Amino acid sequence: MQHLDPQAAFDFLQQDAQAVLVDCRTEIEHMYVGHPAGAEHVAWQEGPDWEIDPQFAAKVARLVKGDLTRPVLLICRSGNRSVDAGLALEAAGFTQVINVLEGFEGPLDDDYHRGTLGGWRFRGLPWYQT
C-alpha cells in the first residue's frame, strides 16, 4: 500500500482520471463533518457496533466497475481506519491502493481536538459539508 499526504493525494487525483477517492468513514462523519470534493462514500464500518462491513471490498469493486487495477485512494478521519480498509482491498485483489495520511480531520492536538494539525480540510483542499 502506498501512502500520500493530503496534497499529494489531491495532486494524484488531478493527474489520473481513473483514480477514485473513497471516503471510508461512517455515513454520519461523511455527511456532517464534511468530505473531500468528489469522494465516493463506502463505509468501512458503522456504529453503533462498529462492525466491519464484510461487503466493503465488493462495494468498492462495484464502484470501480470490477477493474481492480484502478487506483483507489482511501481517506478516513485521521488515516488509521483507511489502512485497515486498504489491507482488505489488497487482500481482495486490488493492486493500486493508496492511503491518505492525516485523513480528513488530522491527528488530535494537545487539547484532543482534530483539524488543527493536519488533514485534508486543514490543508485547504476542496471539501463539502451537508
What is this structure's pTM? Answer: 0.95
pLDDT in tens, 87-102: 999 999 999 999 999 9
The residue extents of the domains of the chain are 2-128
CA angle at 52 for the pair 107 and 22, rounded to the nearest 5°: 60
* Average pLDDT along the chain: 96
Q: Is the pLDDT of residue 130 over 90?
A: no
- Is it the case that residue 124 has pLDDT exceeding 90? yes
Give the pLDDT confidence score for residue 47 in this predicted structure.
84
The mean pLDDT of 4-25, rounded to a whole number, is: 98
Structurally, at CATH architecture level, domain 2-128 sits in 3-Layer(aba) Sandwich (3.40)
Please report, for residues 4, 9, 12, 49, 68, the alpha-carbon distance to residue 100 in angstroms, rounded to integers and kept in the order given: 5, 6, 11, 25, 19
